[in-house]
Chain A
């Protein structure tokens, strides 16, 4: 049987700390959500000043990236390019969700919400980079 990488709580702390540091460096108040490969929440922080809506949006962005194994920017871009049928897909197609790919396998995803979408993604990427 095939085996694949699985995020543990220590990984989440590492990703979360790096993402939070990136946000703090830029004085951004965001929500950072980390989900497993089934789109189930593993870890979440809502920085002081981020809204309750940000928490829900971050989770949905992360869930989208986790279960579709692609960034939410990819979804957003395809819709922006005219593929409006994708609006009916069970995803949140707004930049800021990034899958965590390990050896070609999706181990989960990071979803961020609170600042501009490309900045949300910047925070998510900074978190994932900390995995090494």
Chain B
């Protein structure tokens, strides 16, 4: 083997080894071990139908006011459907999406916006978690600091869904 051919092999190999070493020195944010549990919200009693319907009515009123057509679902603290309404002309695919958003918000104890933001930031592993939906418009309903259910809206852009969702969530305190 000539010197030239050794250099042709050795130089890229050295560069590759250097790149690996540099990567190894970058701290992996996934290795951080926080002291406290994230989203440590206790589950409360399942939301009563009256509360669920009040949330849906407020959400639909907000959507109507803006001339939007959405599907609104409310689930209980176990993620099970309690009440649902589809506005006239709302898209059919969003029946399932609104319920999915509500269920994800209840079972993960966080807004679905958190998944959207995480995926957008490059944390693609989030997509592999069971029951995740990476789109805003799902919000947990907390009463006295306990999670009693969640509301999910779908049919518009994620941002439209979220505005309507918040109007519904505001009825539960």
Which residues of A does B touch, CB under 8 Å?
8-9, 12, 38, 40-48, 52, 55
**Overall SS of chain B's interface:** mixed
Q: In the complex, are the beta carbons of A38 and B85 less than 8 A apart?
A: no
Which residue of A40, A44, A46, A52 is within 8 Å of B92 (Cβ)? A40
- A-B residue pairs in contact (CB < 8 Å), sample of 25: A9-B60, A9-B85, A9-B87, A9-B88, A12-B85, A38-B92, A40-B92, A41-B86, A41-B95, A43-B85, A43-B86, A44-B84, A44-B85, A45-B49, A45-B53, A45-B82, A45-B83, A46-B49, A46-B80, A47-B49, A48-B48, A52-B76, A55-B80, A55-B81, A55-B82
Which residues of B does A touch, CB under 8 Å?
48-49, 53, 60, 76, 78, 80-88, 92, 95
Min CB distance A41 to B, Å, is 5
Give the A-B pair count, Cβ closer than 8 A.
42
**B60: chain A residues within 8 A (beta carbon):** 9
Given contacts A40-B92, A46-B49, list 8 more A-B pairs with CB under 8 A: A9-B85, A40-B86, A41-B84, A41-B95, A43-B84, A43-B85, A52-B76, A55-B80
Min CB distance B151 to A, Å, is 14
Determine the distance from Cα of A9 to Cα of B49 in the docked complex, in whole angstroms.
Answer: 18
